[in-house]
Structure formats: structure tokens, C-alpha cells
Amino acid sequence: MTAPAKVNAQIILKDTLISLLLYVAPIALMFLTFYITGSRPWLTTSTEALPFRMPAVVELVFQNLRTWGLPVIMLVVGIVEFSVGLYENKWTKNERVLDIVCFILPKIVVRPLIAYFGLKILPFVFPDAKDAFAWVPFWWAFAIMAVADDLTQYWYHRLHHQLPVLWRFHRTHHSAPYMGMAMASRQNIIYTIFFSQIYLTVALTYFGLGYAALFVGGIKSLITTGAHSSIKWDKPFYTYKVLQPIGWVMERLISTPATHHAHHADTTDDGVGYYKGNFGNMFFIWDLIFGTGIITRQYPKAYGLKHYKQEEWYAQLLWPIFKSSKEGSELSANGPVVGDVIASVPEEEAVEHAVEPPPVSVVAAQI
Amino acid sequence: MTLADVTIIIKKIAIGFIVFLVPLLVIGGTIWFIYHLFNAHH
């Protein structure tokens, strides 16, 4: 292992240990509360009826959001973005086909896999664990699920940037030279099928935390969709003085267009773009904790990859099953593992995005 | 698809499985363990 790779591995190991504490934190706080108050919810909660339910209308909104609501929101926002010219004529036929297939295909392929995992594999592996944690009070379950789902996705995402062997499975999401709904679900299908946090959420749902997962999932979808949008809805929070305190908290807590667009910038050297970090999906706070984030309240001038070769949509969707015919492409048969490092560096030495320790986290330019 | 492609997919799935399994064991194990501690002492 080379020195930079070793440093990278040490940082990942240290942050993994911190993450274990973060996963445990809401659980420890929950039991501490039980200890102080003398509460024992498992004595009074049956698995048949939930002790807490959201108002019916709220529940209905989130249930519909999970099924047809979010795709409709994405379509409507996407049409608005396109209508006002936010894709700047960069939505070529190849990009269009890729974005549309990536929008539709996971809904056909991934859902049956998740259903099989939840209905067949989990009952086989954990036959007596169904609803074992159904007694966990709603708001504690909400906190546990929010940390579990989003911190796991943070790691899944971060590792695809920091481990060269994984980069090409995530490259498709970064190749779009624009931001917006058109590219929000744009991923290599293997990246999407093996999304770790989806299976974690299904498993915790099987254990009895599913009601809270419904609301965590809905809120997370809205935040991540908003962060990918080319509509800079967060700008007023930095512009108007009365909104600035809210903006200060918001940009540290959740992903916004400013912080997530920086992650999709085509450069990381202009003080605004930062594709080496800002990995958070729902919560940005993980980037602050691990020192992988920057906040500038500005938006990149250009998006995508400097070394993008407009690879065929099927190669971007199905690599490595299908390869690109573009000379020198990362997705071609003998292409580089990571296109923005020197091509002659062997795979095991090409530690993309993480050759140096991450910088101190926050550059709050207008604070 | 070559053998190298199959290898890289297997590596990818293995890393993803670890990213799934570690929090599952930590969260599930912690709730289960402290729950049993509570019931043992109270």
C-alpha cells in the first residue's frame, strides 16, 4: 500500500469508529431516558397496535409520497427546470435517454429485489425477530432510523469516491454536465441495486421500526431531491438578513443546492466546487463531523467531469457488463480506473479524491 | 464481461454488504443487548 493510500485507509478507519458511536447515540439516549423516567415501553406496547400514529392526513401524504408522489414531484420540477432553460441545451439525446432509463428502470428492477429481501430472506435469517423492536417509541425510532439510513448512505457514497475500485460504479451520477431532476436518479444500475441503506432500512422495518422509516424516507427524499434541483431555492436564506439565521442552521444540518452542487462541480480547485467531499445526502452534518465538507454559499460555474467523453448511455447504465467504445474512457475496455489521475498509475495506487487528508470542514464565506 | 469485471462486481457487492451489515449489527445488537440488561436488572 502506498503512503497516500495508507493515510486514506487510516482516515476511513478512524471515521468508521466515530460512526459506530453515532449509530449507537440515539439508542443510548433512548435507554438513558427510560432509566431516568422509569419508563418501560416494552411492557405496555403490543406488536399488534402502534402506540403512536401521525394524524391521518400526514400519514396519507407520506404513504403516497413513497409510491407515486415523489416521481410526480420530480417530473413536475423537472419540467419546470427544462422549461426555464436550466439545462442550457446540455441535455443531448444520449443524456436524455440515460436520465429517463435511470428514472424508470430502478422502479422495475429494485422494488422486486427489496420485496424478496424483506419477505423471504429476512424471515429465513431472523425467524423470531419480526417486530422485535416494535415497542420503540415513535420519535426514538425516527431518530434511530434517520441516523441509520442517512449515515449508511453517506458511507456508501463516500467510499465510491474514495476507493478507486468503486468509482466507476458511481461515475454515471457525476457525468451529467448539468444539475436538476433529470439527473437526480441517474446512477449505474449496479450502484442502485446494491444501495446498502435500502436493505438496512428494510431490515430495521422487519425488526419493527417501519412506521418511523416511512416518515424518514419521505423527508429524506424531499431533501435529496431539493439538493439536486437546479432551482436554487436556498439562495434567499443567504441573501435576506432575516432568513440568514435559518440558513446558517439549515446549511449545516441538511444538504442544500449550494453544498450539493459543489459536490457535482467539474473542478475542486476554484474555492466553490468540491467533488472530493460534501458527501451528505439528507444530513450535511456528517460532512462537518468527518471534515469532508465545505460551505461557501456559492454555486459552481460548471458541473460534471472534466474528462467526460459522452460515453454511450448503455455503458454508463450497465458498466462493466457493457463497455464504452470511447477511446481513453474510464468505462472502455482498457480505460483508466480513475480518469482525473495520471493514467499510468496502477489501480492499487490510484487513490482518487483522497490523496491528502480532508481540509478543515467549513469555509463559510458570508458568515 | 471478463474475469476482472466479475471480480470488481464481487468486490463492490462485498463492500456494500459490509456497509449494510455493520450498522445492522451495531443498531440491532445494541437495542437487543441494552433491552436484556434492563430486564435482567429491573
Residue among B22, B24, B35 whose CB faces A42 most closely: B35
Nearest CA in chain B to A152: B19
A227 belongs to a structural domain: yes
Please indicate, yes or no, if residue A255 is contained in any of the structural domains.
no
What ipTM, to 2 d.p.?
A: 0.95
Chain A residues closer than 8 Å to B26 by CB = 20, 23-24
Is A299 within the bounds of a domain? no
pLDDT of res. A64: 87
| DSSP per residue, A201-259 | HHHHIIIIIHHHHHHHHHHHHHHHHHHH-SS-TTHHHHHSGGGHHHHHHHHHHB--HHH
pLDDT at A70: 87
Please give the pLDDT value at position A46.
Answer: 64
Q: Say whether A321 and B22 touch across the interface (CB within 8 A).
A: no
Residue B40 has a pLDDT of 81
Provide the terminal-to-terminal Cα distance of chain A, rounded to the nearest Å: 41
**Which pLDDT does position B41 carry in this prediction?**
63
* Cβ within 8 Å, pair B20-A199: yes
Number of Cβ pairs closer than 8 Å across A and B?
78
A276 falls within a domain: no
Q: Does A65 contact chain B (CB < 8 Å)?
A: no
- What is the reported pLDDT for A361? 43
> A94 lies in a domain?
yes
Residues of A in contact with B25 (CB under 8 A): none
Contact yes or no for A247/A238 (Cβ under 8 A): yes
* Residue B34 clears pLDDT 80, i.e. is over it: yes
Q: Is residue A267 part of a domain?
A: no
Cβ within 8 Å of A, B 1-42: 1, 5, 8-9, 11-13, 15-17, 19-20, 22-24, 26-28, 30-32, 34-35, 38, 42
Which of the 8 DSSP states describes residue B27? H
- What residues of chain B lie within 8 A of the CB of A23, using their CB? 23, 26-27, 30
Tell me whether residues B28 and A156 touch, CB distance under 8 A: no
Low-confidence ranges of chain A (pLDDT < 70): 46-50, 340-367
Residue A344 has what pLDDT?
38
Q: Please tell me the predicted confidence (pLDDT) of residue A364.
A: 42
pLDDT one-digit tens code per residue, A155-168: 999 999 999 999 99
Domain for residue A272, yes or no? Answer: no
pLDDT at B42: 59
Q: Could you tell me the pTM of the whole model?
A: 0.90
CA B39 to chain A, closest CA, distance in angstroms equals: 10
Q: Give the domain extent around A61.
A: 9-231+311-317
Identify which of A303, A265, A326 has the alpha carbon closest to the alpha carbon of residue A94: A326
Residues of chain B in contact with residue A27, where contact means CB-CB under 8 angstroms, are 27, 30-31, 34
Q: In angstroms, how far is the first alpha carbon of chain B from the final one? A: 59
Q: What total of structural domains would you count in chain A?
A: 1
